[in-house]
Every structure is written in structure tokens, then in C-alpha cells.
């Protein structure tokens, strides 16, 4: 069996590990456009902040690819897929044959059509190369504006600030991290950033990026009329699925590459995973692009297993994020902003502004479907269990969860036994 994987991000690592669960011998070829082996993409902010050195980026050990019988073609971009001939062509002029193909090309930074956005001094922050560029720049620049108050924007802002650059964040939504946070959590996090000296502007966006006669950026004009002087602009609005190669091959693409219950695309023997895929969401059953790390690994892993013949359905992804703001840890999982006025949801929120702690629990149909924790995050995983295993929480159990926190004795007895003390035949999961 010949496996080919396009993209060498974490989805590809998941896929290699999934394939090798079932098939120790098949040949695996990974084609990766970047010139490094898979690295912790989120770690680029730790690198930019100077918290870790480049030697800590690699996701797996040096002998990983050799040990797993993987041929790694780095610095190589796949340029086309022929689903009839089952081949992939590359920019190096090669044609690689596959029996099973995984498209794991990730996302590309979305750059909105703001006047002045094309040209020098505008940066993205999604690759190691971007981080290295910003590291070099950081000693030469004084001020940066980060457009986008999502995960990547906040991380870029924090690490540039750590490099001594004065940073202002501009976010169109009324709060930072609007996807995973509500207003209260957003405020706690934004306060932390403000306290260290990062300016956070919500509810506004860049109207124009203004440049001097020499073409260099002078600053950003905001929609509320203010002008923010700066030397560089980091555009971090988010990523969009890098799906061009699939589209050109005639594979069905909506927002991302559409995949079925086994993560196969509309083309036979072609799979998709990670930031490029529009896969099923556990809680809604809908297909969505949720560009987060755990989904990318899990989908890659499930693809790998299925490519190797396991015929296992993908269980669906769960949106989740864990992010710290200068020592203030936060976690958000599942549905955290239920539709306004929707009677099917019940929300319990507890805010302690002084202690900087917040807990929000979201229930639907007597089940926990989402939570946010700020500050005190230690029970995070235990809350996740109730969502992931869709445990029924009626009456007393729900009250206990709300009042005393998650506890393993609230689990249904059968699940408890299967998990912790299974009959020998049911063990190993």
C-alpha cells in the first residue's frame, strides 16, 4: 500500500500514527512545503516571545520519520492531484503514485482587502518563517498594530510585546476571542493584556493602512477615526482552508474540503484532515471548519486508520482552546455562546473579578455542552468528560456539578466501570 500525505503539519503526524496502528509496512510519503519536519505550530509564539529556542520546536524525535518508514519530501509543494490516475505532482517535477491520499494542507492567513494592505511592512503569523522574520524585525521596530483579536492575533501581540515592541490590538468584534469567549471572560483577559501595557481596541477595525512616500507603513486609520502610528502591521484575522489543490482536482469543497463519516472526500481513496477539512462536529452533527490543533491531530489519526483499512467512523470534533494571558490561564470547550433567547440552553456563570476567576457552564437537554474557565482551570478535563461522553445530568447530578464541580462519581456507573476498572474483555481503549 502506498500512502501519500500532502502537508507536514500535525494532521500529518496524526495520520502517520494512525496508519502505523494497522499497517506496519505500507510506504508513506509526506510532501511538505515548509522546509522543517513537523513542528508545534502554536510554539512559534513561544519562540517569538523568546521563551523557547528553535531546538524545542520539533514535534517528534529526530529518528521519528525513519523509525516509521516515512519518506519526507520537505521544501516540496504538491501542485496537482489526479484522482483518476491516482497521482500527485510536485513543484520539483515529480509524479508520486498513491493508493490512499491525505490532503492535510492546513490553513492560509486571511488578508482582508483593506486599502494599503498590499506592500511592505505587513506580516502574517502562522509559520516558523513568519516568526523568524518578526524576531529579526523586532529589534528594529518600535510599534506594531495587530489586526485581529483571535487566538493568533493575541499570541502575536503578546510575543511582540515580550520582544520590547509596543503593541496595539484592533478587533472588530465587541470582545477579544469572540469565538471561544463571552463578554466576561473576554474582559478578564483583555484586562490582563492592558495591565502589561498591550492596548486592546474592540469594536473597531482598520479602515486604511497609510504609507509614506517611501512606501513604508506610517500607521493605521481606524473606523472610529483614530490613527495608530506604527512601523509594522500584523494581520491575524484567522486562517482559511488551503483547499485550492482539492478544488482543482474536482474534489468537493464548501468552506473546507467536505469529508464523509470516515473522513474521505468526494474522491475515492482521497481523505482530508485538519484546518483544511470541513468535518463533523460532535455536538451539532454539522460539518464545520474548526481550525484547532486537537481536531487536526484527531482527524489525521482517524484518516490514517481508515486509509489503512480500519473502517472506523470519526467521532466528531469538539471545539476547545486553552490559552494563557500573562499567567492568566483560560479554557473554553464546546458551545460557550448559545444563541440569545434559545430556551433549550441553560447557562450558569460565576464571576469573581477580584480573584480573576470565571466559570461558565452551558447545558442543553440536561447535558453539559460547553464551559469556560478563567483563572482556576484545574478541573478542566473533568468538565470536558461530561461533554465528550455526553453524560446525562438530570436533577441532583446537575446541581452537584454546578455547586460542587465535576466529580467522577457523577458518571453513570457503567461508564465508570468500563473506564476505570473494566472486565478484562472490555479493557484497552
Partner 1 sequence: MKRVYPNKDFCIGCHICELACLTAHSKSKDLILAYTVERGESGLSSCKHVHEGGPTCVALSCRHCDEPSCVAACISGALQKDPETGRTVYDREKCVGCWSCLMACPFGAIARHPLEAKIVKCDLCHDRPGGPACVAACPNKALKQEER
- Binds ligand FAD by CB under 6 A, chosen from 20, 70, 105, 270: 105
Binder among 7, 14, 148, 149 for partner 1 (CB under 8 A)? 14
* Euclidean distance between CA atoms 96 and 49, whole angstroms: 39
**In 10 A of CB 21, how many CB atoms?**
12
Of 202, 296, 361, 377, which lies in the binding site for ligand FAD, with binding defined by CB under 6 A? 296
Rounded to whole angstroms, the Cα distance separating 387 from 332 reads 12
Q: Pattern 378-407, binding to ligand FAD, x per CB under 6 A?
A: ------------------------------
Which residues does 70 contact at the CB level (< 8 Å), separation at least 6?
16, 28, 29, 30, 64
Least gap, CB of 305 to ligand FAD (angstroms) = 16
Contact call for residue 59 and partner 1 (CB under 8 A): yes
Q: How far apart are CA 379 and CA 236, in angstroms?
A: 31
Stretch that binds partner 1, among 138-146, 203-211, 343-351, 375-383 (CB under 8 A): 375-383
The cell numbers describing 297, all together, are 491531530
Cα 100 to Cα 268: distance, rounded to the nearest angstrom: 9
**Would you count residue 33 as binding ligand FAD (CB under 6 A)?**
yes
* Spatial CA neighbour of 6 closest among 106, 72, 74, 105: 105
Q: In Å, how far from its chain's centre is CA 414?
A: 33
Distance, in Å, from the CA atom of 168 to the CA atom of 161, rounded to the nearest integer, reads: 9
Q: Is 44 in the site for ligand FAD (CB under 6 A)?
A: yes
Identify any residues that bridge with 28 across adjacent strands, giving them in sequence order: 3, 70
Smaller CB separation from ligand FAD, 10 or 160? 10
Binding mask 304-343 for partner 1 (x = CB under 8 A): ----------------xxxxx----x-x-x----------
Q: How far is the CB of 352 from ligand FAD (least distance, A)?
A: 25
Closest contact distance (angstroms) between CB of 84 and ligand FAD is 19
Contact yes or no for 300/104 (Cβ under 8 A) = yes
Q: Select the binding partner of residue 151 from ligand FAD, partner 1, none (C-beta < 5 to 8 A, by kind).
A: ligand FAD
Q: Which helix (H) or strand (E) holds 345?
A: strand 345-352
Cα distance between residue 266 and residue 260, in whole Å: 8
Does position 382 bind partner 1 by CB under 8 A?
Answer: yes
State which of residues 65, 123, 271, 301 lies at the interface with partner 1 (CB under 8 A): 301
**Site size toward ligand FAD, by CB under 6 A:** 37
The strand pairing partners of 82, in sequence order, are 87
Minimum Å gap between C-beta 407 and partner 1 is: 6
Q: How many CA atoms lie within 13 A of 389 on its CB side?
A: 18
> Rule CB under 6 A: is residue 152 a binding residue for ligand FAD?
yes
Q: Is 347 in the site for partner 1 (CB under 8 A)?
A: no
Closest separation in Å from C-beta 40 to ligand FAD: 8
Whole-number minimum distance, CB 228 to partner 1, in Å?
30
Helix/strand/coil for 89: strand
Q: Does 162 bind ligand FAD (CB under 6 A)?
A: no
User: Nearest distance from residue 4's CB to partner 1, in Å?
Assistant: 22
Query: Hey, what's the cell of 420?
Result: 476505570
> Which neighbouring-strand residues pair with 376?
none
Does 215 bind partner 1 (CB under 8 A)? Our answer is no
Residue 262 touches partner 1, criterion: CB under 8 A: no
**Binds 152, which of ligand FAD, partner 1, none (CB < 5 to 8 A, cut-off by type)?**
ligand FAD
The nearest distance, CB 5 to ligand FAD, in angstroms, is 9
CB of 115 to ligand FAD, least distance (A): 25
Q: In this structure, are strands 27-31 and 2-6 parallel, antiparallel, or unpaired? A: parallel
9: Cβ–Cβ under 8 A, 6 or more apart, which residues? 38, 41, 104, 106, 274, 275, 296
Closest CA to 320 of 176, 207, 151: 151
Give the cell for residue 214.
517611501
* C-alpha span between 336 and 174 (Å, rounded): 16
- Is residue 106 involved in binding ligand FAD (CB under 6 A)? yes
Residues found near partner 1 in the complex (CB under 8 A)? 14, 17, 20, 40-43, 46, 51-52, 56, 58-60, 293-294, 297-298, 301, 320-324, 329, 331, 333, 377-382, 384-385, 388-389, 406-409, 416, 419-424, 427-429
Residues found near ligand FAD in the complex (CB under 6 A)? 6-12, 31-34, 41-42, 44-45, 77-78, 104-107, 125-126, 151-152, 155, 242, 245, 274-275, 291-294, 296, 321, 323
Amino acid at each position: 500500500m502506498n500512502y501519500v500525505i500532502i502537508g507536514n503539519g500535525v494532521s500529518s503526524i496524526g495520520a502517520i500514527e494512525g496508519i502505523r496502528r494497522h499497517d506496519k509496512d505500507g510506504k508513506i510519503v509526506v510532501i511538505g512545503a515548509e522546509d522543517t519536519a513537523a513542528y508545534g505550530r502554536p510554539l512559534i509564539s513561544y519562540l517569538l516571545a523568546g521563551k523557547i529556542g528553535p531546538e524545542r520546536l520539533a514535534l517528534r524525535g529526530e529518528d521519528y520519520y525513519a523509525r516509521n518508514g516515512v519518506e519526507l519530501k520537505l521544501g516540496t509543494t504538491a501542485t496537482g492531484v489526479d484522482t483518476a490516475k491516482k497521482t500527485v505532482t510536485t513543484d520539483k517535477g515529480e509524479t508520486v503514485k498513491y493508493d490512499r491520499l491525505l490532503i492535510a494542507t492546513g490553513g492560509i492567513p486571511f488578508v482582508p482587502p483593506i486599502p494599503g494592505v498590499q506592500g511592505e511592512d505587513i506580516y502574517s503569523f502562522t509559520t516558523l518563517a513568519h516568526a523568524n522574520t518578526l524576531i529579526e524585525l523586532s529589534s528594529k521596530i518600535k510599534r506594531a498594530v495587530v489586526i485581529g483579536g483571535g487566538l493568533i492575533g493575541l499570541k502575536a501581540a503578546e510575543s511582540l510585546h515580550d520582544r520590547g515592541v509596543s503593541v496595539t490590538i484592533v478587533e472588530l468584534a465587541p470582545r477579544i476571542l469572540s469565538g471561544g469567549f463571552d463578554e466576561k471572560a473576554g474582559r478578564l483577559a483583555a484586562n490582563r493584556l492592558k495591565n502589561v501595557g498591550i492596548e486592546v481596541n474592540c469594536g473597531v477595525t482598520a479602515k486604511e493602512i497609510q504609507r509614506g512616500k517611501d512606501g513604508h507603513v506610517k500607521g493605521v486609520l481606524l473606523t472610529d477615526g483614530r490613527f495608530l502610528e506604527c512601523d509594522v502591521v500584523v494581520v491575524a484575522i484567522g486562517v482559511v482552508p488551503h483547499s485550492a489543490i482539492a478544488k482543482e482536482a474536482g474534489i468537493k469543497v464548501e468552506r473546507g474540503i467536505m469529508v464523509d463519516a470516515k473522513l474521505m472526500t468526494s474522491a475515492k481513496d482521497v481523505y482530508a484532515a485538519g484546518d483544511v477539512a470541513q468535518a463533523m462536529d460532535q455536538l451539532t452533527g454539522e460539518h464545520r471548519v474548526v481550525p484547532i490543533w486537537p481536531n487536526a491531530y484527531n482527524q489525521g489519526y482517524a484518516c490514517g486508520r481508515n486509509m489503512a483499512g480500519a473502517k472506523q467512523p470519526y467521532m466528531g470534533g469538539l471545539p476547545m482552546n486553552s490559552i494563557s494571558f500573562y499567567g492568566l490561564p483560560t479554557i473554553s470547550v464546546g458551545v460557550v455562546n448559545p444563541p440569545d433567547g434559545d430556551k433549550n440552553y441553560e447557562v450558569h456563570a460565576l464571576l469573581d473579578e477580584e480573584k480573576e476567576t470565571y466559570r461558565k457552564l452551558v447545558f442543553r437537554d440536561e447535558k453539559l455542552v460547553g464551559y469556560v474557565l478563567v483563572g482556576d482551570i484545574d478541573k478542566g478535563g473533568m468538565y470536558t468528560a461530561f461533554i465528550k461522553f455526553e453524560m446525562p445530568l438530570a436533577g441532583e447530578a446537575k446541581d452537584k456539578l454546578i455547586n460542587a464541580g465535576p466529580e467522577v462519581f457523577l458518571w453513570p456507573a457503567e461508564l465508570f466501570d468500563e473506564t476505570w476498572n473494566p472486565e478484562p474483555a472490555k479493557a484497552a481503549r
